[in-house]
Structure 1
């Protein structure tokens, strides 16, 4: 009987899918119908982040409860692992820590403005900052990108005294002016960002932070000025692409990842992605044309 119930559970679609069928390549395992019986435990669990971030702490505990005593759980996100191990307060603490680190990076970026520039030394200084606070260099590069973009917006509140006065008192009147100011900032800061974002994965993370800035999401929750980049999302990515901060491969890969995430969670905020689509499509078409030319 236990075996029959176990097999039945493998074919059960959870109510949480709200009537939506799971993707064909995803095996949905719902142990709720046999919870408490002597069903086989699991040797290894892999929790993808697109699912893990949707689970409550209680769900994560039940998820881990299916392991054998000497089993292995693999988390693809340190954030979700911390939440599973430390409880619901861990996410709030992580958000606070990220906001504080974002401010540290921003102060460092501002301190580099208005003086003789050495991109290699600046990237090294930011790497040292990351290491001193236990943060990744990839995250630092992503936050630095958003910070450079913020230089053309009014200054956020709470900045320490003594920093160069770079921010305008008022935002640019038009998207064209805003992007022209961003391009000018990239003339002096672009090389540093390029050194920090050498890998495609690093650039994808940077686009995620750009999206967060445009949507006033963590760690930019109170930075409403970033919404100026929302309507100009496609042109913004193009300016960063033209400055060699972002590569064609990274922008296309980000778009594919975002599309996949939205298919799993229709409630996810898709505004930045929708606005960025024209540029992503243009890159995809250009890449396809190049491949066809090479084949000929």
Structure 2
């Protein structure tokens, strides 16, 4: 099989969650804290629909080390496997746990002594560390910096990768969830009230001509483009991997699809991934 498999493991508090999220944004199908006995079956099923799969394993899963070495070797014989081990200096891990106020997974076994818990975990994970293809020390990484590193090193994307999704919708059908920004275009000329345009959509040329012949529309498009010219480079610089813009009109049939198509046109200059969704067409 040509599937690319990344197994992410390492010390608790070293950044495994951030790493998996970065891989997910880079197009990997990710699962965390999977029992080792299920890894092979999970990958076999997932490989039918995804060529990039990431699995997180750690000491939270009771007995997760049972047979893990043999499982890794078996996977290496079947897939293009990259075993990634994350670690950090003990005092850094302690500081991170103090900041989040979360207990270490082995704190109970270590009777509340976090240094002892970290030492126990290092011992338990030694065979995986020895087997690792990549050992990443995250001591000096912020979550933002780690995300950028993983995106480039494992995700196959550039450090300033950004996916821009633009959604047209009708307010009468509800606002889409998980938008980063929303634009209301209900003040623009409405083709719904023009008999010959009502059956058409914002993707049809007569409707576009009607909407964009308005000076108000022309001025608004300039303002949207100016805003995107400012925001998108800032988001890329910050390491934001996705940005979703919603554009709404009353029914989501005429004005918002036309504006979204125009926004998609001028977004090509940013050299980013652009996806257009017309939810209510």
Q: What is the TM-score of this pair, normalised by structure 2?
A: 0.32
Query: Whose strand fraction is larger, Structure 1's or Structure 2's?
Result: 2
Q: Which has the higher contact order (CA 8 A, sep 6+)?
A: 2
Query: Whose helix fraction is larger, Structure 1's or Structure 2's?
Result: 1
